Amino acid sequence: MPSPNFNQRPATAALSLLVIHNISLPPGEFGGTHICDFFTNCLDADAHPYFREIVDLRVSAHLLIRRDGDVVQFVSFHDRAWHAGQSCFDGAENCNDFSLGIELEGSDDKPYTDQQYRCLAALVRVLLAHYPGLSKQRIVGHSDIAPGRKTDPGPCFDWRRLSAALEA
């Protein structure tokens, strides 16, 4: 599902970071088309009061993993999705330039599903195999690159579970 919210990476930016996010629209609610509508600039501002606050934002991610494990791709891995915002990792600013963004349909305070963990681990294995600049040590949460501004994927995300699944 193509999103218009991307552009080309700088020629000097090598893909070297994977950022895990969460999103639910409306906040705390799962299912429906609102996330896809948001990432494709088709969100109906009148469908929920919260949407009036975000309808003019232009954001996207490379991938969304729904609660049932289905995956939606919005931006090519070769392009820069607008997912990280103001961010810094290992002294490098503007993480969108050198990262991939994966959104999990979820929230900071609700556990993620088994299907999401299985799908995320499978996707990460493929990405690690195809992009030599990525590594297990360079998989972070949005909160790691935008501390104080972002909290996702939140305390309910099981980093040990993802790590163990990548070792299997």
Q: Are 7 and 126 in contact (CB under 8 A)?
A: no
Sign of the CA dihedral with 4 first, then 148, 10, and 130 last: negative
Instruction: Please tell me the distance from the alpha carbon of residue 35 to that of residue 31, in angstroms, as a whole number.
Output: 9
Whole-angstrom distance, CA of residue 131 vs CA of residue 139:
13
103 is an active site residue: yes
| CA quadruple 110, 123, 20, 107: dihedral, nearest 10 | -20
Single out the catalytic residue among 53, 103, 105, 167.
103
Token duo for residue 162: 């993802």
Q: Could you give the residue numbers annotated as active site?
A: 103
